[in-house]
Amino acid sequence: MATNEKIQVDSVTGQTTTGHEWDGIRELNTPLPRWWLWTFYACILFSIGYWVVYPAWPGISGFTHGLLGQSSRGDVAVDVAAIQAQRAVTEAGLKDATVDQIAADKKLLGLALAHGKAAFAEDCAPCHGAGGQGGKGYRNLTNEDWLWGGKLDDILQTVTHGIRDYTDKDTRQSAMPAFGAMGVLKSDEIKQVVSYVRTLSKLPPEAGVDVAAGQKIFADNCAVCHGDDGKGKREFGSANLTDGLQLYGGDIKDLTYTVTNARNSTMPAWGARLDPVTLKTLAVFVHNLGAGE
Ligand code: HEC
Ligand code: HEC
């Protein structure tokens, strides 16, 4: 490597060289543009100012807080306080109104639906589905097949105190007996009543089974709770058996299981877990899913 420290003018570009030369290759002297340099210096000045004013440097047991004392956590606290203040104003209306008043007032209804939708997604959707359409064993909340009533107050009562949630003394109670497990009905009697129940929903009975005998068993054992017509009775929260048997399934296998062991599923009581405004907005939201009475 040979260096020749002589500054020359490059004949091709007309620019001066730095004077460095390696194997006949010379380096052009191209200084940084002025604007770039000034921007660079300005950035350095800005960052020094920033370090002084804002929290910047970590230390051993903390960090430099800066002259302004700004902190992201403090900013969030201010924002949260502002949202809470705003929410208190809008929720004051919901707090004082009954569910019926909320449903009748367009502005409150809009608020309640927005609030109820968010709460439903969080607390109810895991069992009842995102749209409230339910699933096997979990009530569909969008059809008119209410076990416990579909009026706003009924729904509020169900949501607040639950169904068979015995941690709440006001829970809705009723228990279908486990006819097979308790030995009330023998297996061929269960066969017969199951086939009769299928005919209530216009499903074919099991071939060769005595449906008339099943009808008699139904009248003696089931009509008390499900009604003579099988349409269910609200005071027992018993299922409507004429609507296609969606709750636990209408297959012979499903029905045999239901009559043998009973299901008696639990809907949790939310009264102790959610505030009164949220409970009301949930009732309004569920009522509004399409089948409110
Ligand atoms: C752990 C599962 C579970 C969760 C969570 C749950 N439910 Fe239920 N829910 C049920 C079950 C099971 C039933 C049916 C109980 C029965 O057999 O009568 C039910 C029934 C209901 C009913 C009665 C429907 C009728 O036919 O009368 C309503 C209303 C209801 N749920 C609303 C809600 C709301 C609102 C939430 C959210 C706050 C919620 N549920 C959360 C399991 C759940
Ligand atoms: C003490 C009241 C009571 C009696 C008596 C009773 N049931 Fe029920 N039945 C209920 C209740 C309550 C439910 C809803 C249970 C649940 O959701 O867990 C139900 C649910 C059902 C279901 C589920 C419906 C579905 O949509 O999947 C079937 C089927 C049924 N009963 C059949 C019968 C038959 C058949 C008898 C008579 C042998 C009978 N029940 C007697 C209270 C009763």
Residue from 163, 171, 266 to probe ligand 1 pocket by mutation (most atoms less than 8 Å from CB): 163
Residue from 267, 288, 289 to probe ligand 1 pocket by mutation (most atoms less than 8 Å from CB): 267
The tokens of 150 are what? 């579909």
Residue among 36, 23, 28 at smallest CA distance from 11: 28
Matching residue, tokens 């096997």 = 136
Geometric angle at alpha carbon 267, from 266 and 273, rounded to 5°? 125
Contact 292, 151 (CB under 8 A): yes
Q: Is the CB of 196 under 6 A from ligand 1?
A: no
Residue whose Cα lies nearest atom 8 of ligand 1: it is: 267
Contact 147, 157 (CB under 8 A): no
Q: For ligand 2, which residues put their CB under 6 angstroms from it? A: 174, 176-177, 179, 193, 197, 221-222, 224-226, 236-239, 241, 245-248, 255, 258-259, 263-265
- How much is the pLDDT for 5? 59
Residue whose Cα lies nearest atom 19 of ligand 1: it is: 267
The tokens of 145 are what? 């097949």
Count of C-beta atoms within a 10 Å radius of residue 107: 10
- How much is the pLDDT for 89? 76
Q: Is the CB of 139 under 6 A from ligand 1?
A: yes
Contact 4, 19 (CB under 8 A): yes
Q: Is the CB of 110 under 6 A from ligand 1?
A: no
Q: Is the CB of 285 under 6 A from ligand 1?
A: no
Question: What does the alpha-carbon distance between residue 106 and residue 109 come to, in Å, rounded to a whole number?
Answer: 5
Question: What does the alpha-carbon distance between residue 206 and residue 120 come to, in Å, rounded to a whole number?
Answer: 40
Residue 269's region, left for phi above 0, alpha for psi from -120 to 50, else beta, is beta
- How much is the pLDDT for 136? 78
The tokens of 194 are what? 């199951």
Question: What does the alpha-carbon distance between residue 26 and residue 31 come to, in Å, rounded to a whole number?
Answer: 15
The tokens of 140 are what? 């569909």
Mean pLDDT per 10-residue segment, the chain (293 residues): 66 86 87 94 96 91 88 91 82 87 90 92 91 83 85 94 92 90 89 92 87 92 91 85 81 91 90 92 91 78
Question: What does the alpha-carbon distance between residue 225 and residue 233 come to, in Å, rounded to a whole number?
Answer: 6
